[in-house]
Homo-oligomer: A and B are copies of this chain.
Amino acid sequence: MKYIEKLRKSGLRPTKQRLQICEVLFDTERTFHFTINDLVKKINEKLNHKISLATVYNTVHAFEKKGYLKQIPINSNQTYFDTNISDHHHFYDLKEEKLIDLENSDVGPINIFKKIDGKKIKSVEVLVKLED
């Protein structure tokens, strides 16, 4: 399994559940956005048994902390995650309530002129809301 090493390197034990979740998240052509609820559905479709909801939460948070997933800052009752961890931004279609990737080349360079003493910029995220 290609994910065993990846997990070990991060200090995460490659358990059955984590490996299966890796397959659902990362064995795809395209990256995608998901909520925990979406992910549980995907897992149930792919596997013939369930992974405990608590484990899904634990795993997603562990993966996020290790940088394998990104949270998307958006106001919603559910938290959205992204398997695309490259530096990029999002459209949010307000009507369809759907996120669309904005590749880095779709957005001009962003310059932040203000500085806060003792703080470093960790990330810059742009959310472009769309209406009809």
> A residues bordering B, Cβ < 8 Å?
71-75, 79, 91, 93-94, 100, 102-103, 105-114, 116, 118-132
Contacts and interface: CB of A to CB of B under 8 A. Distances in A.
A129 B125 contact: yes
Contacts of A106: 112-114
Given A106-B114, A113-B106, A128 B123 contact: yes
A120 B116 contact: no
Nearest to A113: B106
A57 to B, nearest CB: 14
A119 B108 contact: no
Contact of A130 (B109, B119, B126, B128): B119
Contact of A112 (B107, B114, B116, B119): B107
A108 B110 contact: yes
Contact of A121 (B73, B79, B100, B128): B128
A129 to B, nearest CB: 4
Given A73-B73, A124-B128, A129-B122, A91 B116 contact: yes
Nearest to A101: B114
A93 to B, nearest CB: 7
Given A73-B73, A73-B74, A73-B75, A94 B122 contact: yes
